[in-house]
């Protein structure tokens, strides 16, 4: 029999919050709590609904997310569990990183946590490609990693969405060229890298869908592995995962970013040329799915013991 749980989405009017709400409405036994629009910034109203919730999801700017955590913690023993979709706590002590497939035991850590920080969309792809190689000893922790990525404009926040919807926006643009993108710290930490990676994000004039790529010279990796070796390491790392799929390279050497839209799937591929000693690791995902709302709901399901198809084995063993 499915468990029942009460969830409050603090910031439910935004893109991520709406996506989480839509997904949770499909779960039997989940009761969603809301606040009237004119009281959404009222601390006392938010604290009152938090007191009634089993879990609170924060879909807020970083400063507001920190304020909400303080409100929740002020409830003491009545404090709800928290999933924070902002960047405020992604490398903070005491928070569990909400990427259950990231490494062995992470699913159980998320399930047992009271505070989970939802991964960024870009880091989800980057960490999935990098960490397995570091754990396997093929990539040294101080490897000079470069990550290139493109996202649909829905990942850029309200102002970018309005600009593209209203005027068309630029067809394509690089950004974050000051090399201070807010996703770099979590990519480095959970990618197990001791050297700060170079991360070059970009945005295209399409709504959603993401590609993250990591170019590699094979002779700079431990043991000079082949592209097939890299594929095998990724496949072994994510074996049995319902949502992270390691697939063969696409024929023609071309991949587009929108094919996984409206899903919570993450696809990983290794494209390589053995004679040239080069490879490009590629992750594809929906930046609003596995990169945001879908990832949050996966963590919520684990934390509350809900019946989520991706975690049926873990829940059965609990």
The full set of domain ranges for the chain reads 5-118+292-317, 121-287
- Under-70 pLDDT residues of the chain: 1-3, 309-318
Assign domain 121-287 to a CATH class.
alpha beta
- Give Cα 317 distance to the centre of its chain: 25
Question: In 3D, which of 140, 148, 275, 273 has the Cα closest to residue 210?
Answer: 148
pLDDT at site 1: 43
pLDDT at site 311: 56
Extract the tokens encoding 133. 């190689």
pLDDT at site 109: 98
Catalytic residue among 9, 121, 218, 288: 121
pLDDT at site 169: 77
Is this prediction's pTM over 0.75? yes
CA-CA distances (angstroms) from residue 204 to 182, 267, 309? 19, 20, 32
User: How many residues does this entry show for the chain?
Assistant: 318
Extract the tokens encoding 112. 């047992």
pLDDT at site 302: 95
The fold adopted by the segment(s) 5-118+292-317 is Rossmann fold (3.40.50)
Q: CA dihedral in degrees (10, 16, 20, 21; nearest 10)?
A: 60
Task: State whether residue 116 is helix, strand or coil.
Answer: strand
Angle at 131 between CA 221 and CA 307, to 5 degrees: 150
59 is catalytic: no
pLDDT at site 308: 78
């Amino acid at each position: 029999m499915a468990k029942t749980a009460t969830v409050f989405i603090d910031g439910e009017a935004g893109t991520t919050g709406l996506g989480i709400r839509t997904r949770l409405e499909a779960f039997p036994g989940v009761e969603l709590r809301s606040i009237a629009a004119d009281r959404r910034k009222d601390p006392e109203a938010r604290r009152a609904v938090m007191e009634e919730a089993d879990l609170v999801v924060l879909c807020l700017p970083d400063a507001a997310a920190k304020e909400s955590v303080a409100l929740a913690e002020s409830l003491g023993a009545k404090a709800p569990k928290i999933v924070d979709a902002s960047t405020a706590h992604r490398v903070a002590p005491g928070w569990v990183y909400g990427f259950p497939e990231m490494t062995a035991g992470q699913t159980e850590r998320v399930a047992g946590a009271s505070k989970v920080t939802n991964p960024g969309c870009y880091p989800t792809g980057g960490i999935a490609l990098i960490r397995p190689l570091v754990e396997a000893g093929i990539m040294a922790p101080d490897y000079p990693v470069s990550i290139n990525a493109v996202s649909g404009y829905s990942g850029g926040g309200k102002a970018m969405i309005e600009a593209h919807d209203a005027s068309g926006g630029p067809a394509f643009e690089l950004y974050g060229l000051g090399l201070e993108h807010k996703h770099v710290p979590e990519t480095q930490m959970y990618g197990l890298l001791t050297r700060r990676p170079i991360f070059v994000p970009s945005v295209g004039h399409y709504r959603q869908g993401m590609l993250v790529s990591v170019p590699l010279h094979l002779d700079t990796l431990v043991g000079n592995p082949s592209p097939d070796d890299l594929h095998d390491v990724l496949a072994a790392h994510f074996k049995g995962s319902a949502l992270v799929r390691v697939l063969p390279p696409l024929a023609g050497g071309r991949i587009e970013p929108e094919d996984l839209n409206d899903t919570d799937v993450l696809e990983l591929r290794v494209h390589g040329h053995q004679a040239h000693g080069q490879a490009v690791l590629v992750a594809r995902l929906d930046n609003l799915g596995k990169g945001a709302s879908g990832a949050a709901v996966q963590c919520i399901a684990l934390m509350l013991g809900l019946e989520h198809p991706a975690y049926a084995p873990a829940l059965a063993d609990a």
